[in-house]
Structure 1
Amino acid sequence: MLARMVHEGMRAGDGDREKVAEQLKQALDQGRLDLGEYDERVQRAYSAKTYGDLEGLLADLPGTVPVEKAQVEPHRSAKGPEPQHRGRSGLTGILGVFLVCVVIWAMSSLGSGEWHYFWPGWVLIPVVWALVAHFRDRGNRGH
C-alpha cells in the first residue's frame, strides 16, 4: 500500500503523458470516448504532474490497465518461440517475383515487336543465393 502511495506521488515525465494521450486517442478511435471527453482527458493528461494524476484518466477504459494491476497473466508457451520457417516458402516467393518479371518483360517485348534485353535475369541473383543457402543448410536441419 505504501509503495502505491509513493508511486502515485512520483512526478510523471513527458513520455508518460504522451503514452496516456496515445491510449486516449485509441479509445476515441474505437468509439469509447466522445470528442468532448477525449479533449478534457487529454488536457488533464498533459497538465498532470504525478502518476496519480494520470492514473484516473484511463481507469474506465478497457485494455488500459497497468501490468502491475492486471489480473490476467499473459500466455507463455511451454515450447518456447516458434521456429522460423525457411526454404520452400522463401524460394517460392522469389521464384514468383521472377516469373512476374518475365511475364512483364515478355509482354513489353511482344508489344513492341522486338525482343528487349532480358532484364529479369538480374532477379535470378537472389534465387541463386536462396538455392545455395537452401542446399548448404540442408545438412544442418535436425541438429
Structure 2
Amino acid sequence: MDTNGIPSRLRAADTDRERVASLIQAAGGEGRLSLEEVEERLGTVYSTKYTDELEKLTSDLPKPAPKRRPVAFGHPAVRIHVAIAVVLSVLVIARWTVSGVPFFWPAMPMFWLAMSVLVHARVRGARRGFRRGDGVVVA
C-alpha cells in the first residue's frame, strides 16, 4: 500500500486481459511477432494477475492509432453552404436592426438556413458511410 491507502499493484480484470490479448493478436497478424511469440505472450496474458505485468507484454509493440471521429462538415460543398448561411444570417439580422421591428423575425429564416445545412451535412455523411451514432463534428 502507498501513503494514500491505494494498492500499488492493481489486479487485472478480464477486460484488461482481453484488450492486451487483442493487441498481441493484431501484432502477430501484422507480422511484428512470430507465431511462437504470440502463443507465448497469450499464455502469459491469461495467467497474469496484475496490470503492470500486462503492460510489460506490449511495451515493445507500437501503440494503436486513436480512432478519428468522422467530420460531417469536412466536405467543401458543405463548408460553402455553411459560409453562405452565415452571410445570409448576418444580412438578415442587419436588416432587422435597421427596420426597427420589435420582434426578432430573422429567427425563422435562420432556422431554415440551419436546417438546410444540417440536412446537407447529413446527406454528405450518408454518402461517406457515417452511421447514426457517430455524431456531428465540425472540422
TM-score by length of 2: 0.45
User: Considering only CA atoms, is the larger Rg found in Structure 1 or Structure 2?
Assistant: 1
TM-score by length of 1: 0.43
Q: Which has the higher contact order (CA 8 A, sep 6+)?
A: 2
